[in-house]
Amino acid sequence: MFAFGLGLATRARDGALLDVFYPLPAFQPDAGLVQALGGAAAGVREVTDRDLETLARAFADAGVPEHAAVARGCIGAHGPCVLTVLEVDGPIAHIAEAYLKLHLLSWRHCLPNTLNLDGIFAVLPNVAWTSQGPMAPADVGEQALRARVRGDVLKVHAVDKFPPLLDYVIPSGVRIGDGSRIRLGAHLGEGTTVMHEGFVNFNAGTRGAGMIEGRISQGVLVGEQSDLGGSASTQGTLSGGGKERISIGESCLIGANAGTGISLGDRCIIEAGLYVTASTPVCVLDERGDEVRTVKARELSGHSDLLFLRNGRNGRVECRTNRTAVELNQELHAHN
């Protein structure tokens, strides 16, 4: 079995499924967990309180009390409870499957770009994420009126296919300045700091400790000890972008208002304000600062120990060997 999850779902007034919250998703469960499921077929099905009682006993007998506690905790839930079982990592055909895979990413069970997310945009509906939970956008007007009648205010934080990460998963050992800027499905490694203007998309994130003050686009993975400066950008593959997924290595620095459309190896720096795209002409310099050749930046993709900067006299983009390692301020980034 590839994965399974027992989750609590929310429905719109017309019965359409809006989201699923999985308190403890299981990735590649062992034989004991699979046996406790009692041969549950692959797919998505709603489970009753009686089913939950049976699952709780089976999980307890299998020696997995944490899963037993989840099953017992779902008994008597306000909304429907669903059991989602994925035998293989195939294309997504149901909203509950999409949410399970997003949870697997944010629980750090899987790294970005390792899951089959084909079909995710087709199955995920636009949802109004509000102070009273997820709602269908068409239902917000009536609910807002009811709230005002009660003397309350219904706040709509966003209308989007993806909810904020922190409403579903709080990864251990991270600092997040503004939770609305991190989508469910983001993978934040232990020790990551995301400042208030930082943004992390689904199926993207960090391997470990790092400082994120810029944007990590879908499909981009940032290595440990790297720093994305204020408003820095990493080019993703959505919205007509390229098809090659880029990555950032360890101990890299992308300066404020800078960006990259190529992969960086380890210990690379892009100076503040410089955006390096795949087609950017780059003048490669030797150790003495003499010109060696001019190439498209894509030819340098993935190489380590590079420093990209713009020549202040003639405006050309230059690349030379980076002789300085980027080190994070350990006191500043301590998470205790």
Q: Which of 164, 141, 142 is nearest to 19 (CA)?
A: 164
Contacts (Cβ under 8 Å, ≥6 apart) of 15: none
Collapsed DSSP state (helix, strand, coil) of residue 96:
helix
Count of other CB atoms within 10 angstroms of residue 285: 17
The encoded tokens of residue 165 equal 């990460």
Q: Is 190 considered catalytic here?
A: no
Count of other CB atoms within 10 angstroms of residue 16: 11
Q: Which of 125, 90, 89 is nearest to 10 (CA)?
A: 125
The encoded tokens of residue 139 equal 């239902």
Collapsed DSSP state (helix, strand, coil) of residue 176:
strand
Rounded CA-CA distance 285/293 in Å is 8
9, amino acid identity: A
Beta carbons of 86 and 2 less than 8 angstroms apart: yes
Q: Which residue in the list 87, 142, 190, 213 is annotated as catalytic? A: 213
> Which sequence positions are flagged as catalytic?
213
